[in-house]
Amino acid sequence: MKQLQVDVAIIGAGTAGMTAYRSALAHTRNVLVIEGGPFGTTCARVGCMPSKLLIAAAEAAHTAQHAGAFGVHAGPLRIDGEAVMRRVRSERDRFVGFVTEAVEKWPAEHKLHGHARFIDEHTLQVDDHTQVRAARIVIATGSHPTVPTQWRETVGDRLLINDDVFSWQTLPKSVAVLGAGVIALELAQALHRLGVRVRLYGRSARIGPLTDPALQALTRELFSRELSLQLEAKNLQLRREGDEVIVQTEAGEGRFEWVLAAAGRAPNLRGLGLENTHLPLDAQGVPRFDRRTSQIGDSHVFIAGDANSDLELLHEAADEGRIAGDNAGRYPDVRERPRRAALAVAFTDPQIMLAGRSHLELCHDKVSFETGEVLFEDQGRSRVMLKNQGALRVYAEHGSGRFLGAEMIGPAAEHIGHLLAWSVQRGDTVQQMLDSPFYHPVIEEGLRTALRFLQRSLRMGPVPVERCLDCGPGA
């Protein structure tokens, strides 16, 4: 059994782990990264980048199919499934290559392959070949798709997770998507636009990440125009008949070539041996940690990225890795780091975004706030591009006029979300935002309309309580 002694051990070499490594090196060269699978990031390998490659192909197909509305006719649409997936895999491999090249440049003594498990507070057992004694430890083990065991047993090799999609050699004929979150929506719409027969099943009436009740209703309406949706699917049952999977609900049954399980993700903590430590855990077995320091309790152990089950987004994982690695390197001189304003985007069409504090968070915290809104149906630039769907709702603090956050489903949400997250982080007031330049004609003029509406509400609304009357159950 090989014995190693290090200042900082980092479990996991994804986005959070790689960033933690670079941050810890600023304090000590005696750092070890332990990885049980391939070195690299979920984003590049099976997440953000390959999914956007598939979505880009779907957008090209959708644009070609609807070009006639502009008087442009290019002939019958033909989708080459093998060519679509060949580009997805090729570009995916290119992105993964950038990550693995970076890891290959690390000193060999800084890398160890194997699955780590806590033996005690400071000792990690890595497979059956190495014991690592670490003064400080960073947990950056990532997450995995959650799939009920019964589904796997029933469906067998006809059950997919999103990781599997990007290894396809060609596009399938039909897919049932189980889930109604961001991953499910993005993949369901992309596959549908590429000619795959798709039906999306959701357990509740919710679809996507938006929390504003008005926008939730609009989201359901917009996606139901294009996709086959079965929300509030009761008593969902799966069964296998040959090479087909039958999805049975109270509303009837559907037959599909594949079933894609996209109902959420869970942190990779099982088998980590946390029970052999005194680290504080929540009811789900996730370590309790401080978001400003990444420290678990008052211990020498830190946690970052999807493993903490907080905000499963790449930029958040990178920030958390930076905080965790820095504090692990300088421990016991643990320092608080400010977190950036929240920003989340779904690359559906229309796009979806949340910036700053959500409607649900504001209502839950009993914040006194006002709401402004714009509908994009008649917004100038949106109509020019035939992207005139959706709405933006913006929130500001009653009394001070400080901008708090926004939710949106509509055109260019990925860009407008950045503008609004920056305003939240700076602490802008609505008036300061309106004093900024707006060009013509651009989609951002719709944002100005919503802000003007919000400013009028702030001036006129003496009783902000009514703004929470539509929060819905559990708000």
Within a domain: residue 434? yes
Last residue of a domain, one of 274, 297, 330: 330
Note the pLDDT of residue 31.
Answer: 98
Give the model confidence (pLDDT) of 252-302 as tens digits: 999 999 999 998 899 999 999 999 999 999 999 999 999 999 999 999 999
Identify the H or E element spanning 133. strand 130-139
Please state, for a pLDDT cut of 90, what percent of the chain lies above it: 87
Within a domain: residue 338? no
Query: What amino acid is encoded at 400 in this protein?
Result: S
The answer to whether 118 and 124 have CB atoms below 8 angstroms apart is yes
Q: Are 387 and 319 contained in the same domain?
A: no
Q: Does residue 47 have a pLDDT over 50?
A: yes
Give the model confidence (pLDDT) of 167-214 as tens digits: 999 999 999 999 999 999 999 999 999 999 999 999 999 999 999 999
Q: Are 193 and 232 contained in the same domain?
A: yes
Q: For the domain that residue 179 is a member of, what is the CATH number?
A: 3.50.50.60
Q: Are 230 and 289 contained in the same domain?
A: no
Q: Which ranges in 410-468 belong to alpha helices (H)?
A: 413-426, 430-434, 444-460
Within a domain: residue 475? no
Last residue of a domain, one of 208, 243, 263: 263
Give the DSSP letter string of 53-82: HHHHHHHHHHHHHTGGGGT----S----HH
> Two tokens at 301?
């152990």
Q: Does residue 467 have a pLDDT over 50?
A: no
Last residue of a domain, one of 210, 244, 263: 263
Q: Does residue 466 have a pLDDT over 60?
A: no
* Cβ atoms within 10 Å of 111's Cβ, excluding its own: 16
Q: Are 404 and 431 contained in the same domain?
A: yes
Contacts with 114 (C-beta within 8 Å, 6 or more apart), sequence order: 34, 35, 36, 126, 127, 129, 130
Give the model confidence (pLDDT) of 141-164 as tens digits: 999 999 999 999 999 999 999 889
Range of the domain at 221: 149-263
CA-derived radius of gyration, the chain: 24
Identify the H or E element spanning 183. helix 182-193
- Residue 371: phi and psi, rounded to 5, are -125, 135
Give the DSSP letter string of 278-334: ---B-TTSPBPB-TTT-BBTTSSEEE-GGGGSS---HHHHHHHHHHHHHHHHHTTS-
Q: Are 139 and 158 contained in the same domain?
A: no
The arithmetic mean of pLDDT across residues 63-75, rounded, is 93
Q: Report the alpha-carbon distance of residue 236 to residue 151 in Å, rounded.
A: 11
Note the pLDDT of residue 459.
Answer: 76
Q: Are 197 and 250 contained in the same domain?
A: yes
Q: Are 438 and 306 contained in the same domain?
A: no
Q: Report the alpha-carbon distance of residue 127 to residue 121 in Å, rounded.
A: 17
Q: Are 30 and 84 contained in the same domain?
A: yes
Within a domain: residue 427? yes
Give the model confidence (pLDDT) of 402-423 as tens digits: 999 999 999 999 999 999 999 9
Within a domain: residue 386? yes
Confidence of residue 465 (pLDDT cuts 50, 70, 90): very low
Q: How many structural domains is the chain composed of?
A: 3
Note the pLDDT of residue 96.
Answer: 85
Give the model confidence (pLDDT) of 116-140 as tens digits: 999 999 999 999 999 999 999 999 9
Give the model confidence (pLDDT) of 247-264 as tens digits: 999 989 999 999 999 988
Confidence of residue 460 (pLDDT cuts 50, 70, 90): very low
Higher pLDDT, 472 or 322: 322
Q: Are 308 and 371 contained in the same domain?
A: no
Give the model confidence (pLDDT) of 204-237 as tens digits: 999 999 999 999 999 999 999 999 999 999 899 9
Give the model confidence (pLDDT) of 335-385 as tens digits: 999 999 999 999 999 999 999 999 999 999 999 999 999 999 999 999 999
Q: Are 36 and 172 contained in the same domain?
A: no
Note the pLDDT of residue 474.
Answer: 35
Within a domain: residue 335? no
Within a domain: residue 160? yes
Q: For the domain that residue 376 is a member of, what is the CATH number?
A: 3.30.390.30
Question: DSSP assignment, residue 425?
Answer: H
Within a domain: residue 473? no
Q: Are 17 and 134 contained in the same domain?
A: yes
Q: Are 275 and 259 contained in the same domain?
A: no
Note the pLDDT of residue 469.
Answer: 38
